[in-house]
């Protein structure tokens, strides 16, 4: 029986330590190394990441962009010439379990109508990360990552968005999957196309991709057949304020790009508040960092040795 092939794409920006752990986890994730292509796209790191890859992982296809192309542009730099049966987008701060890639590919091979597949994702302490979600709503945005959400931690809009009513123990067709670890079938990629790097630098490109997969008639499936460990923020926390702004900008752009899709789900007056709320939300989050003394100070990254 033919073994399906996969291109693992890891975009990295100043994440040397995390990237090393990610790459070190890949050999044990498969019993068939010949079926895997590993591509690291380096977005102009200044921490010696490219040299580390060349020195310690010489079989890896290292592509240096010479500029920070973001998540979308970085992944697209390795999507355009793919000839494998699948592409697997994996964050540099994520690691795979032993045999994990073989298990995930076997499940994908047995589910040919699934175009985009996401494994279970866990935090370093073993707790669940909510890597599959329902479509965002302005109501959920009112409570997510802002102070009011802490006042009402059990609020229903955020709980619905995060799918807290789902035990995450069995495969399920979902609205969208987190880009930290997602597997796409080549036929689906050829039909849907790459990530939208013209609209999204970072954040929401995974939502956009998932929606386009749905519109193309493929299934988007959460498949907890393996657990990927994801640390969160290995690169983005180094420039936290910029990422807060970028996240809000991406949400507005996603909402505008897919206005027709959301028109039947959201009253027009609510949609009109998306932009001002995004600006207010980002401003409050940055102000909080200023007040607490966190703003514009680089956190010690896990990429440093």
CATH number at residue 195: 3.90.550.10
| Cα distance between residue 148 and residue 190, in whole Å | 42
Quote the pLDDT of residue 301. 35
| Cα distance between residue 61 and residue 13, in whole Å | 16
Q: Is residue 280 part of a domain?
A: yes
For residue 83, give the 3-state DSSP assignment. Answer: coil
Higher pLDDT, residue 36 or 293? 36
* Best-predicted range by mean pLDDT (142-146, 152-156, 262-266, 277-281): 262-266
Mean pLDDT of 51-79: 97
> Is the model's pLDDT at 283 over the cut of 70?
no
> Is the model's pLDDT at 302 over the cut of 50?
no
Q: Is residue 61 part of a domain?
A: yes
Please name the residue that has the structure tokens 């896990």.
302
Among 239, 202, 234, 207, smallest CA distance to 220 is for 207
Task: Kindly report the number of other CB atoms within 10 A of residue 291's CB atom.
Answer: 9
Q: Tell me the residue range of the domain where 77 lies.
A: 6-291
Report the alpha-carbon angle 19-22-26, nearest 5. 140
> Is the model's pLDDT at 115 over the cut of 60?
yes
Distances (CA, A) of 104 to 83, 123, 217, 240: 19, 19, 22, 33
Q: Is residue 301 part of a domain?
A: no
Banded model confidence at residue 248, pLDDT cuts 50, 70, 90: confident
Task: Kindly report the number of other CB atoms within 10 A of residue 271's CB atom.
Answer: 16
Give helix 205-215 / helix 240-257 axis angle, nearest 10°.
Answer: 20
Quote the pLDDT of residue 31. 96
Q: Is residue 305 part of a domain?
A: no
Quote the pLDDT of residue 279. 66
3 state SS for 117-154? EEEEEECCCCCEECCEECCCCHHHHHHCCCHHHHHCCC
Span of 150-154, 179-183, 240-244 with lowest mean pLDDT: 150-154
Quote the pLDDT of residue 305. 28
In terms of DSSP bridges, do strands 176-177 and 172-173 run parallel, antiparallel, or are they unpaired?
unpaired
Quote the pLDDT of residue 304. 28
> Is the model's pLDDT at 101 over the cut of 50?
yes
Distances (CA, A) of 242 to 274, 278, 297: 19, 14, 12
For the chain, how many structural domains are there in total? Answer: 1
Higher pLDDT, residue 184 or 267? 184
Banded model confidence at residue 61, pLDDT cuts 50, 70, 90: very high
Q: Is residue 302 part of a domain?
A: no
Q: Is residue 299 part of a domain?
A: no
| Cα distance between residue 106 and residue 219, in whole Å | 17
Q: Is residue 287 part of a domain?
A: yes
Mean pLDDT of 114-143: 88
Q: Is residue 41 part of a domain?
A: yes
Please name the residue that has the structure tokens 């979600």.
133
Banded model confidence at residue 182, pLDDT cuts 50, 70, 90: very high
């Amino acid at each position: 029986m033919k073994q399906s092939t996969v291109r693992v794409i890891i975009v990295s920006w100043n994440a040397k330590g995390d990237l090393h752990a990610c790459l070190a986890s890949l050999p044990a994730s498969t019993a068939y190394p010949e079926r895997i292509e590993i591509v690291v796209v380096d977005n102009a790191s200044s921490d010696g990441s490219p040299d580390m890859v060349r020195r310690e992982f010489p079989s890896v296809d290292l592509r240096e962009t010479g500029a920070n192309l973001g998540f979308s542009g970085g992944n697209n730099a390795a999507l355009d010439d793919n000839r494998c049966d699948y592409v697997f987008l994996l964050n540099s701060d994520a690691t795979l379990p032993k045999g994990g890639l073989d298990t995930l590919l076997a499940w994908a091979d047995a589910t040919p109508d699934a175009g985009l597949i996401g494994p279970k994702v866990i935090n370093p302490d073993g707790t669940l990360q909510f890597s599959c979600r329902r479509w965002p709503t302005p109501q959920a945005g009112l409570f997510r990552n802002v102070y009011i959400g802490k006042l009402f931690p059990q609020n229903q809009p955020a709980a619905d968005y995060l799918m807290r009513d789902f035990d995450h123990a069995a495969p399920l067709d979902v609205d969208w999957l987190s880009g930290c670890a997602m597997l796409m079938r080549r036929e689906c990629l050829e039909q849907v196309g790459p990530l939208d790097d013209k609209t999204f630098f970072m954040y929401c490109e995974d939502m956009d991709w998932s929606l386009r997969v749905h519109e193309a008639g493929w299934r988007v499936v959460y498949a907890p057949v393996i657990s990927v460990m994801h640390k969160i923020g290995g690169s983005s926390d180094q420039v936290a304020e910029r990422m807060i702004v970028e996240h809000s900008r991406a949400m507005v752009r996603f909402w505008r790009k897919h206005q027709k899709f959301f028109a039947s789900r959201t009253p027009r007056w609510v949609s009109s508040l998306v932009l001002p709320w995004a600006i207010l939300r980002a401003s409050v989050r940055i102000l909080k960092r200023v007040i607490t003394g966190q703003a514009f100070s680089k956190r010690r990254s896990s990429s440093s040795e």
